[in-house]
Structure 1
């Protein structure tokens, strides 16, 4: 049988195979309160084969090589991390963990072709690997079990686009199946998430992305930015981006729930955020929290400890620009992704300045439902403008 088009959550046939394959696991948890580890491993092998067979076999080979490389790397770091020159070992391990992703990002710039190391989900697996090394250094992960680590990397419901789980949380649930009572809650939540995923991705996301977006894109390219088409495109693309990605994330979380895992959610009504910081606490949360915990907080600690800047405010602003520049470059090495990142850094720094102003001189400024509604609308439009930049349509308007 040809599984070429059965990439995760993109084809109705994928859901049919998924439902049939996951049923024994559901029955085991529901009736016996047990998760059969061997069956979960079998599911992982089968669905990785489904996702990377046919025309994607090169990606499958790259995935296998990548997992072997990261497993050996984390083992080596775990073994040698206690050496006197710990910092050198640590930074070398982090650099090595990032290297395959770095090659994937830069290879097209020089060769014009995708890297041989590329496969669907390499970014999210890299985040997991770097997280593992950093938490080992912090002493939060004291033991290394390669089999558990591989299952963490290859957890198939989230392998292609997250959410990005944390190893300690995943390991705890891997070793201890939920009780029958708790699993009933997981089951109910999982079914709800999957049905909401269908609504988001295949109804709302499809209509916005396949019907409305081509029409408004054509109008915008024909008439330019200085017309109502600018707003039409901005709103449609922003809503499409949300419903498509949030729908995928709901599928990933829902399937995880059915397997007895409480995988963290990725979206929490982001367009209702009353500030840009609130937005990043609601949008693609597993990614934004990962960047916050493993890049921003560590960078801030270094800047303050080394007294690179006298002012904490300056250090914080530098940290934000570094953080969002990295996030922009991670999306791709094109000017609009870089501008997207720098734009969000500017928004965050401006938000912090406004908060400081209110604490010092804003005691008499109104604070009520009307001001909160105004903040929410303002944040929504600031975010939509960033997604317009992110979409790359400006590149088509100005440089094509």
Structure 2
């Protein structure tokens, strides 16, 4: 079920008033949690009900693993070997679960011919990809690791460590953390220590309606008006190698810029919708984007883009690998490995691994170059610093934009055809791509200029954010959503 579908609006309209029924005492919390679990199940299984079986197995298994880790940590002798055994086995099984459904088809491509029969190879490659499996598996792994590290609160440990009949309550808390529908299929990735403690009775007067309004209107505007309209043009980038090679450089660059703006508007818009929906039900989800196209380097880009994934990779992969604590060579290797695996997480195709690898190479190069020249850069006079920042922005923006080709193109041959058309195509000025880039892409540019103003002139930004100005702007957004929506499309990150 999509956030921009009629079915979802009906589900929300039914769930929200029932959620805030005036029940007393602990019954309110139990009712609200049960209703959210039911709504999340409907939301997730709307098109493929069988997926609930996988989701249920994941919740039950991880609840058991967490309870066992907590049990062994509470015992008088605190047996570390048993605790670590549960940690390793549960994380391994979660990763195996993800690998089987998401990467089995990719792995068969590297198996030598003859080792697997053609029928078996075809059957493995036809395994359907459960929606959101990457996100809820990462949620489960972060929960298990945080419990093992004792970085969750005592309240969370008490809730998840119940035994006997109390296991039902623990399973409910853990399941809500994993399946909470605003972030179930597309994030943001939420850490257990930031969510489970929020599971309590919610009151209607506590809703932050101003934040809800800002998130939902801006999110739906970015998704429906910007991303979906741009998608109608960027689809031309997938028309085939021959057509790409015959296209002109202006047309191709306009479409590529448009796709860069589209993927931002699609993902950032969906994240804002998720955050707004979470606030409606009394749950605060983490910020996921911080004006990423203002970045002056790939390093800064990953501090602004998909913040919840960047934090997850840092806490559960980069730091355990040694981070930057084991010398420069190991740091560069860790950056490469993290980005390679992060790229492969984005999709079960080798092109995503290439995308991650190239980002990892750029991160390592930037770390080497910028650290070695840090003193010179900091001492630069202001005009030179502005000029330097301008060059760095051009580099970062175009590096990110060209690497988006691996997300869109079906294979490397099409990427090659794109560059062939870019360098040898006929010069022309296509009307529709340029118009779409100016109108819809211009919204993304204005959005980032607003972010730049907030960061460089916060006092002026506060003055400009007058309630009347904000109200008029939101009214215009709603008008454009209703009068000029793009063709309804799924969320880009559903495939991940």
TM-score, L = length of structure 2: 0.69
The answer to whether residue 186 in structure 2 is matched with residue 161 in structure 1 is yes
Instruction: Sort the Cα spacing of 1:78 and 1:97 in 2 relative to 1 into closer, same or farther, 3 A.
Output: farther
> In 2, Cα distance between the equivalents of 1:93 and 1:241?
34
Q: State the Cα distance separating 1:24 from its structure 2 match.
A: 4.2
Give 2:127's aligned residue: 115
Structure 1: runs of 5+ lacking an equivalent: 1-6
2:138 corresponding residue in structure 1: 127
| Structure whose alpha-carbon radius of gyration is higher | 2
Report deviation, 1:359: 2.4
Matched, 1:253 2:275: yes
8 Å CA contact 1:268, 1:283 repeated in 2: yes
**Mapped partners of 2:55, 2:125: distance in 1:** 18
Please, which of 48, 51, 59 is the counterpart of residue 44 of structure 2?
A: 51
Taking CA–CA contacts closer than 8 Å with sequence separation of 6 or more, which of the two structures ends up with the larger relative contact order?
2
Question: How big is the shift at 1:207?
Answer: 0.5
Q: Deviations over 1:190-218 (max 9, x none)?
A: 12211111111111011111x21123443
| 1:189 partnered with 2:183 | no
Q: Kindly state the Cα deviation for residue 148 of structure 1 after the two structures are TM-superposed.
A: 1.5
| Partner-residue secondary structure (3-state), 2:284 | coil
Cα distance in 2 for residues equivalent to 1:231 and 1:378: 15
Question: Would the aligned equivalents of 2:351 and 2:412 in 1 still touch at CA under 8 Å?
Answer: yes
Question: Is 1:99–2:114 an aligned residue pair?
Answer: no
Which secondary structure state, in structure 1, belongs to the residue aligned with residue 321 of structure 2?
Answer: helix
TM-superposed CA distance for 1:133, in Å, is 1.5
Q: Structure 1 65/137 Cα, relative in aligned 2: closer, same or farther at 3 Å?
A: closer
Greater Cα shift, 353-362 or 249-258: 353-362
Distance 1:230 1:369 in 2: 30
| 3-state SS in 2 of match to 1:267 | coil
Is the counterpart of residue 270 in structure 1 residue 266 in structure 2?
no
Deviations 1:248-297 (A, max 9, x none): 11111110011111111211111111221211111111111111111101
1:398 and 1:368 map into 2 onto residues whose CA distance is: 35
- Give the 3 Å change call, closer, same or farther, for CA 221–37 of structure 1 in structure 2: farther
- Counterpart in 1 of 2:172? 147
Paired with 2:21 and 2:299, the residues of 1 have a C-alpha distance of 42
Q: Which of 357, 369, 394 is the equivalent residue of 1:377?
A: 394
Give per-residue Cα distances to partners, 1:160-179, cap 9 Å, x unaligned.
11111121121222136479
Q: Which residue of 1 aligns with 2:330?
A: 315
Query: CA deviation digits over 1:376-400, x for unaligned, max 9?
Result: 2221111111111232355352699
Match of 2:430 in 1: none
Structure 1 residues 28, 277: closer, same or farther in 2, change over 3 A?
farther
Does the 8 Å contact 1:177/1:260 carry over to 2?
yes
Find the aligned partners of 1:330 and 1:299 in 2 and give their Cα distance: 17
Matching of residues 381-396 of structure 1 within 5 Å: 381-396=398-413
Preserved contact between residue 199 and residue 247 of structure 1 (Cα < 8 Å): yes
Partner residue in 1 for 2:317: 295
Partner of 1:12: 6
* CA gap 1:325/1:178 in 2 versus in 1, 3 angstroms: farther
Secondary structure of the 2:319 match is helix
Asked if 1:79 corresponds to 2:71, the answer is yes
Partners of 1:200 and 1:244 in 2: CA distance:
6
Q: Work out the CA distance in 2 between the residues paired with 1:219 and 1:338.
A: 22
1:362–1:194 CA distance, 2 compared to 1 (3 A) = closer
Q: Are 1:281 and 2:303 counterparts?
A: yes
TM-score by length of 1: 0.85
**Does the 8 A contact of 2:20 with 2:202 survive in 1?**
no
List alignment gaps of at least 5 residues for structure 2.
107-120, 161-169, 418-496
Alpha-carbon offset, residue 126 of structure 1: 0.9
2:359 alignment partner in structure 1: 344
